[in-house]
């Protein structure tokens, strides 16, 4: 009997074609809707490999149901959706897809910075509504990006890629990270700062930190009040890092000027989330790595990791 691979989203045929000869491949029917919990639990009970996405909660209940499971390959660089401790306890390998999405996600971060600072989506929406009657001196005026100070929270691969882009905008770059990046400081002039200093001096605060118990609600009311009233907060990491209630009030009462969000505490974001009512928030549906080339590269990494494990090899990008 062929080993069974279960895929929690409908993927392009060309992405799974190399698996079909050696493996029994089962796949959820929707590309955009999460696999129902009961279906996931049923399928994982017979699976040797699970190909997951970041919207799937791969927790103890899933692992307990998975009597044959050898590997979970997550289509994301983050893996906070997976109970790593339980996977390790049960001897199940977990892999992710780092590196290949670095440049694409850094591009998206700068797109959000520019869209928020220059009120691009707000202006476009008004044009499409037919509200552009004449040229106006102060309509849709925003904040300059070039020459401003960028503060990066989480200076990993993606953070460094964004910081390099900032130098092209003649920006001063501050960063906060668990470890100093002395080589990058020397080569590019990036400046290490504690969190308070970064918040107080930055015109744009950009979040790339992973979601961990230490970073959950890292940016709350206290932190937002330390930012400039003209500052912009951009989050392309994980929604739980920013307290959304505190952010809503900070944006509504003018504590900070604007925000750009690619991630939310609950995804998909509920349509009654009050942040969606604010004109000074630019919102996106978690598309940081969403370029055609990058998504195909990520799927290729997942495929390789799964085949490596099922054929007895140690995979690259192993988390546990």
Gap between the Cα atoms of 141 and 118, Å rounded? 7
Q: Are residues 26 and 134 in the same domain?
A: no
Gap between the Cα atoms of 118 and 110, Å rounded? 12
| C-alpha distances in Å from residue 102, one per residue of 77, 161, 163, 269, 289 | 9, 7, 12, 24, 8
71 within domain boundaries: yes
Classify each residue of 286-318 as buried b or exposed e, where b means 16 or more C-beta atoms within 10 Å of its C-beta.
Answer: bebbebeebbebbbebbbbbbbbbbeeeebebe
Q: Are residues 121 and 32 in the same domain?
A: no
- Quick one: DSSP state of residue 209? -
Q: Are residues 46 and 158 in the same domain?
A: no
Other C-beta atoms closer than 10 Å to the C-beta of 65 total 16
Gap between the Cα atoms of 242 and 262, Å rounded? 12
Output the pLDDT for position 190. Answer: 99
Residues 249-278: pLDDT tens digits? 999 999 999 999 999 999 999 999 999 999
Domain count along the chain: 2
Residues 109-144: pLDDT tens digits? 999 999 999 999 999 999 999 999 999 999 999 999
- Quick one: DSSP state of residue 241? G
87 within domain boundaries: yes
Q: Are residues 156 and 17 in the same domain?
A: no
Q: Are residues 297 and 190 in the same domain?
A: no
Indicate the pLDDT class of residue 53, thresholds 50, 70 and 90.
very high
DSSP letters spanning 49-118: EEEEETTS-B-HHHHHH-SS--EEEEESS--TTB-HHHHHHHT-EEE---STTHHHHHHHHHHHHHHHHT
Angle (CA) 166-236-190 rounded to 5° is 30
Output the pLDDT for position 168. Answer: 98
In the chain, the percentage of residues whose pLDDT exceeds 70 is: 100
Indicate the pLDDT class of residue 178, thresholds 50, 70 and 90.
very high
Gap between the Cα atoms of 293 and 289, Å rounded? 10
> Which 3 state secondary structure label does DSSP give 157?
helix
Q: Are residues 128 and 67 in the same domain?
A: no
Output the pLDDT for position 109. Answer: 99
40 within domain boundaries: yes
Q: Are residues 153 and 224 in the same domain?
A: yes
Residues 293-305: pLDDT tens digits? 999 999 999 999 9
273 within domain boundaries: yes
Q: Are residues 45 and 113 in the same domain?
A: no
192 within domain boundaries: yes
Averaged over 220-245, what is the pLDDT? 99
Q: Are residues 226 and 82 in the same domain?
A: no
Output the pLDDT for position 36. Answer: 98
At residue 154, what are phi and psi to the nearest 5 degrees?
A: 100, 90
Structural domain range at position 224: 102-283
296 within domain boundaries: yes
Gap between the Cα atoms of 39 and 219, Å rounded? 36
Q: Are residues 126 and 165 in the same domain?
A: yes
At residue 85, what are phi and psi to the nearest 5 degrees?
A: -65, -45
The catalytic residues are 238, 267, 286
Q: Are residues 258 and 161 in the same domain?
A: yes
27 within domain boundaries: yes
Q: Are residues 112 and 219 in the same domain?
A: yes
Output the pLDDT for position 208. Answer: 98
- CATH code assigned at 216: 3.40.50.720
305 within domain boundaries: yes
Indicate the pLDDT class of residue 206, thresholds 50, 70 and 90.
very high
């Amino acid at each position: 009997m062929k080993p069974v691979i279960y895929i929690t989203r409908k993927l392009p045929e060309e992405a799974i074609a190399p698996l079909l000869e050696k493996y029994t491949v089962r796949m959820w029917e929707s590309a955009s809707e999460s696999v129902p919990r009961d279906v996931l639990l049923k399928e994982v009970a017979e699976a040797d490999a699970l190909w997951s996405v970041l919207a799937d909660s791969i927790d103890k209940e899933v692992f307990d149901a998975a009597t044959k499971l050898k590997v979970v390959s997550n289509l994301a660089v983050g893996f906070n959706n997976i109970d790593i401790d339980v996977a390790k306890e049960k001897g199940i390998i977990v892999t992710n897809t780092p590196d290949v999405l670095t440049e694409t996600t850094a591009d998206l971060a700068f797109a959000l910075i520019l869209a928020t600072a220059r009120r691009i989506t707000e202006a476009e929406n008004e044009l499409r509504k037919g509200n552009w009657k004449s040229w106006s001196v102060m309509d849709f005026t925003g904040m300059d990006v070039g020459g401003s100070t960028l503060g990066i929270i989480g200076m990993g691969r993606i953070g460094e890629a964004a910081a390099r882009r900032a130098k092209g905008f003649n920006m001063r770059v501050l960063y906060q990270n668990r470890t100093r990046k002395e080589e990058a400081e020397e080569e590019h002039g990036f400046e290490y700062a504690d969190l308070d200093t970064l918040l107080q001096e930055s015109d744009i605060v950009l979040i790339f930190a992973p979601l961990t118990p230490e970073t959950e609600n890292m940016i709350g009311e206290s932190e937002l009040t330390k930012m400039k009233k003209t500052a912009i907060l951009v989050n392309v990491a994980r929604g739980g890092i920013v307290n959304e209630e505190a952010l809503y009030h900070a944006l509504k009462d003018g504590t900070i000027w604007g925000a750009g969000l690619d991630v939310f505490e609950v995804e998909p974001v509920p349509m009654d989330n009050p942040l969606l009512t604010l004109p000074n928030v630019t919102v996106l549906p978690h598309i940081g790595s969403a370029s055609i080339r990058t998504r195909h590269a990520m799927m290729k990494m997942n495929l390789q990791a799964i085949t490596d494990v099922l054929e007895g090899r140690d995979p690259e990008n192993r988390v546990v």
